[in-house]
Chains A and B, each alone.
Chain A
Amino acid sequence: EAEVAQSPRYKITEKSQAVAFWCDPISGHATLYWYRQILGQGPELLVQFQDESVVDDSQLPKDRFSAERLKGVDSTLKIQPAELGDSAMYLCASSPGQFGSYTFGSGTRLTVV
């Protein structure tokens, strides 16, 4: 069964350092999402891509977060500089199109110390 690949699985970084996460969606899925999930809460959308274009990044803290999806395939989410409050699970998901279900990756657990 096709999966959404994410790496790394875990990341520990010191505050003020830069960190990057990678996501490879299911082949052919045009829409890619990055969500952040704080422990004990539901996921919150950070950014949505349609192919290589950003559709929604209204909740992305743009002073420190950036996301790209070059060539409309895999995607990278970067945080620079990391803050203690960024500690969370970062989830990538993809979907084939409108009004369908999402397939999530296993996530990257970020701990900022």
Chain B
Amino acid sequence: SQQGEEDPQALSIQEGENATMNCSYKTSINNLQWYRQNSGRGLVHLILIRSNEREKHSGRLRVTLDTSKKSSSLLITASRAADTASYFCATDEAAAGNKLTFGGGTRVLVKP
């Protein structure tokens, strides 16, 4: 079963624009992670935010976490064609024992 649900399912933007995607989850978590997957490849870890953190930055990425609403967002600023990929949120559930549960992903297309 999938804990996280990403929104939107797909996103198409022009190069230079910002891309925002959201993730909602259902149970208490230790941390929430975002991964990127290029077509036909494995997943690459982008950023991890712990349950006691509210915001985290890494380069052009900004992640927020609202544990009261059980939601997170990933913002990619000044997008590039190379950012075209699927983005997945994954939750490390407090009761699940170091096991990541992934959402269905947001497919992002950045047009040059």
Contacts and interface: CB of A to CB of B under 8 A. Distances in A.
Interface of A: 4, 6, 31, 33, 35, 41-45, 48, 55-56, 89, 91, 93, 95, 97-107, 109
B interface, how many residues as a size bin? 20 to 34
B45 A101 contact: yes
Interface of B: 2, 4, 30-31, 33, 35, 40-45, 48, 50, 88, 92, 97-105
B2 A42 contact: yes
Given A55-B97, A99-B30, A99-B31, A42 B44 contact: no
Contacts of A93: 43
Interface of B is mostly: strand
Contact of B41 (A43, A98, A102, A106): A106
B43 A101 contact: no
A41 B5 CA distance: 11
Contacts of B42: 4, 6, 91, 104-107
Given A104-B42, A107-B42, A99 B92 contact: yes
Which 4 A-B residue pairs are closest in the complex by CB-CB distance? A42-B102, A104-B42, A101-B45, A104-B43
A111 to B, nearest CB: 12
Nearest to A103: B45
